[in-house]
Amino acid sequence: MNSAFISIGSNIGERLLHLKDAVRALHSHNEVSVLSMSSVYETAPVGYTDQADFLNIVIEVRTSIDAYNLLTVCQEIEHELGRVRTVRWGPRIVDLDILLYNNDNINAENLIVPHPRMHERAFVLIPLLEIAPEIVHPDTGRFYSEEAAVHDQSVLLKQKVSGVEEFIQ
Ligand code: GSY
């Protein structure tokens, strides 16, 4: 079995509903189960800043499929939930990014793991550290909790979540 962390964000329409739909879709996949999830955070957009605030979560999954197939599953869920890729880093109904997959380093054209920008994104690190406070970079062994680059990014706790099942009901 493999373990992966996935970041999920939404900044269009019923944002909370989109997060729930994405978690439900992953959890109902035969070869994926969602083990734990962070609280829901309301976060200022990073990158292209002239867009609405996001809701973000991070989940931990256990899966029998490899990272490339997990990416395909994530992209299918984005597609099913109506994501249309227009502006790079622009608004999106739902976005699923694989952050970490076991302790693997992957450098393929369509997939880089660990996610290359995760260490500079508070909307990733704060929810990730909520569910995995001891998590380290697979190569450097450096704790993600030591990243200082994110202090000026707004991340507000929106909703405490007590469990995956409760969240997707
Ligand atoms: O990479 C994920 C999409 N995204 C986000 C996001 O999910 N949250 C915030 N706060 N900013 C973002 N910029 C991008 S692109």
Topology at the third CATH level for domain 2-161: Alpha-Beta Plaits (3.30.70)
> Is 56 a pocket residue for ligand 1 (Cβ < 6 Å)?
yes
Is 85 annotated as catalytic?
no
Averaged pLDDT, 66-90: 86
d(C-alpha 127, C-alpha 122), whole Å: 8
> What confidence score (pLDDT) does residue 24 get?
97
3-state secondary structure of 76: helix
Paired with 81 in beta bridges are none
Is 92 annotated as catalytic?
yes
Is 97 annotated as catalytic?
yes
- Structural domain boundaries of the chain? 2-161
Torsion of Cα atoms, 133 then 14 then 78 then 91, to 10°: -90
Q: What is the pTM of this model?
A: 0.94
pLDDT tens string 122-153: 999 999 999 999 999 988 888 887 776 667 88
Mutating to test ligand 1, I would choose from 18, 19, 50, 54 the residue with most ligand atoms within 8 A of its C-beta, which is 54
